[in-house]
Structure 1
Amino acid sequence: MLLLNVPFAQKDEAKALGARWDKDQKKWYVPDHVDPLPFLERAEWTDPDYVAPPPPPQVPGHGPKWPLYVDLVPKSAWFRNLRKALTDEEWTAARKKTAKAADYVCQICLCKGPKWPVEAHERWSFDEDSGVQTLTSIEALCPACHEVTHFGFARVRGREAEATAHLMAVNGWTEAEVKKHVREAMDVYVRRSAMEWQIDARWLLTFIELSEETTETILGQADGMGARTLTPDEQAILDADAAAEQIDSIVMYSDPFEVPG
């Protein structure tokens, strides 16, 4: 009988391969009628002297989505974010899948937030020739990196200095380089805000399961149907011609959510 040293977190995997629990020895084992080869290939289960290799080094600022940048949504595209198109259950499913896929670390700086690890940030591409705004992904960002992407919101909250410092630290930029980047991002924002945008969020159809109603809404928007609808409060924000610094403080800043890890 082959005894195993199976960590508790991997017990379901061992059981699925045919292992059984010996309550007397308090160990998992491979019954005689079960092929032992899949277990012998797992040194961490079968070798009593096995030492797990150290995890690969994580260098802040070198995640898969690095570098960090200010990501502004044109004013003419406000109030058409995923939070408004999806049900609460669908948005929660999208956020949680995004966090889990990133192993609950920021995809930009490889760090975690002090209270909750990551937040969900929608990435859109804007084709200025066609006027189509296309959802390309949802990314897991730590609260600090997320705050930088919504730099205007950081200004409104009086946290421009913190956002600037984080952008400098992650990208290795000087303060002058940060200011130049923000000015350039604002120029793009102003230019795109003068255009009307047709939303295409069909990427989401392959990401999570959606209700028929939500699917129809997304497909209709991609076909150019369904004008942007605004609540009185949303219309008041647009009518006020808010300063560019406000950007998407109410619209696109996703609520944080606590997840383990």
Structure 2
Amino acid sequence: MTGGHDPIPLCVPRDAAKYAAQAGARWDDSKRCFYWDGGVGGISENSPVRAYLPFRFRPDRRPPYVRPWMVPQSLWGWNLRAMLRREDWDRTRRDAYRRAGYRCRICGGVGPDHPVEADEGWAYDDTRFIQVLKGVIALCPDCHAVRHWGRSMATGKEQHALCWLAWVNGWTLVQARTCADNAMAHWHWRSGHTGWTCDITWVEKVFGVRPMADATARAAETQQGLVALARQSRNDEMR
């Protein structure tokens, strides 16, 4: 803690290191990360540091900074990993890592085994039943586990994800549980509709890539496998 404030980890791309340093950010060589020591109130309106703040520290944001955001069951498997060529997906996810300085865009943290993972940001048109890709960002494994709440439940990691959900948002466990329960209810509603389509125009425009010719078939095959695994998991729990 410096000057009464906990240091804030910053998401600084490597090619922007000099700008962060010039603005007063401190480089910690042991953590391989820039930190801001003066509290958010000490960052001027025009400082480049504002752009590097993780979401939970940004003064223009309010909780929830992270929440469960689950894909409707009929769209399980409809993701960039399945629909793009391996090299195109690698370029997309690595760009997200680079832009975040290999830190989590939500909390600024990193994982114990690997620093960050790529999370697809989906928006949902609940009238026309369209899942629209809005971007790809870097998240630490813990924040990513909150986003993929169903997977955390299936792998026995729900309680850890619940505690993380509460901590990042500054909530009690009761508030976090309410958020998770509401997200599950919303997911069940969306999963009750089977006519969903998937729009990945964002990645096509930003990176100039196209889905593979067999992308639809690959996604559908993955979806069927994931549904089968989910059913097996439920059956095992009932035994």
Which category describes the TM-score, using the shorter chain as reference length? 0.5 to 0.7
- 3-state SS in 2 of match to 1:79: coil
Q: CA deviation at 1:172?
A: 0.8
Please tell me whether the aligned partners of residues 84 and 211 of structure 2 are also in contact (alpha carbons under 8 angstroms): no
In structure 1, C-alpha distance between the alignment counterparts of 2:98 and 2:226, rounded to whole Å? 35
Aligned CA distance change for structure 1 residues 203 and 244 (closer, same or farther; 3 Å)? farther
Q: In structure 1, what is the equivalent of residue 178 of structure 2? A: 180
Q: CA deviation at 1:154?
A: 1.4
In structure 1, C-alpha distance between the alignment counterparts of 2:211 and 2:113, rounded to whole Å? 34
Which of 100, 111, 114 is equivalent to 1:113? Answer: 111
Q: CA deviation at 1:120?
A: 0.1
What are the superposed Cα offsets for residues 97-118 of structure 1, whole Å, 9 maximum, x if unpaired?
0010111111100111122211
Give 2:220's aligned amino acid: L
Q: CA deviation at 1:229?
A: 5.5
Give 2:71's aligned amino acid: V
- Check if 1:134 corresponds to 2:105: no
Q: CA deviation at 1:122?
A: 0.5
Q: In structure 2, what is the equivalent of residue 194 of structure 1? A: 192
Q: In structure 2, what is the equivalent of residue 104 of structure 1? A: 102
Q: In structure 2, what is the equivalent of residue 203 of structure 1? A: 202
- Name the count of aligned residue pairs: 187
Alignment of 1:75-94 (within 5 A): 75-94=73-92
In structure 1, C-alpha distance between the alignment counterparts of 2:203 and 2:72, rounded to whole Å? 21
Bigger helix share: 2
Q: In structure 1, what is the equivalent of residue 4 of structure 2? A: none
What 5-or-longer segments of structure 2 have no aligned partner?
1-17, 27-35, 38-52, 235-239
- Check if 1:155 corresponds to 2:153: yes
Aligned CA distance change for structure 1 residues 69 and 228 (closer, same or farther; 3 Å)? same
Q: CA deviation at 1:171?
A: 0.6
Give 1:54's aligned amino acid: A
Q: In structure 1, what is the equivalent of residue 231 of structure 2? A: 242
Which contiguous aligned blocks of 4+ residues in structure 1 show a shift greater than 6 angstroms? none
Q: CA deviation at 1:128?
A: 1.1
Please tell me whether the aligned partners of residues 133 and 201 of structure 2 are also in contact (alpha carbons under 8 angstroms): yes
Aligned CA distance change for structure 1 residues 127 and 107 (closer, same or farther; 3 Å)? same
- 3-state SS in 2 of match to 1:90: helix
TM-score by length of structure 1 reads 0.62
In structure 2, C-alpha distance between the alignment counterparts of 1:154 and 1:216, rounded to whole Å? 29
TM-score by length of structure 2 reads 0.68
Aligned CA distance change for structure 1 residues 243 and 177 (closer, same or farther; 3 Å)? farther
Q: In structure 2, what is the equivalent of residue 53 of structure 1? A: 24
- Check if 1:62 corresponds to 2:57: yes
Aligned CA distance change for structure 1 residues 98 and 129 (closer, same or farther; 3 Å)? same
Q: CA deviation at 1:217?
A: 5.6
Please tell me whether the aligned partners of residues 74 and 223 of structure 2 are also in contact (alpha carbons under 8 angstroms): no
Please tell me whether the aligned partners of residues 123 and 135 of structure 1 are also in contact (alpha carbons under 8 angstroms): yes
Larger Rg: 1
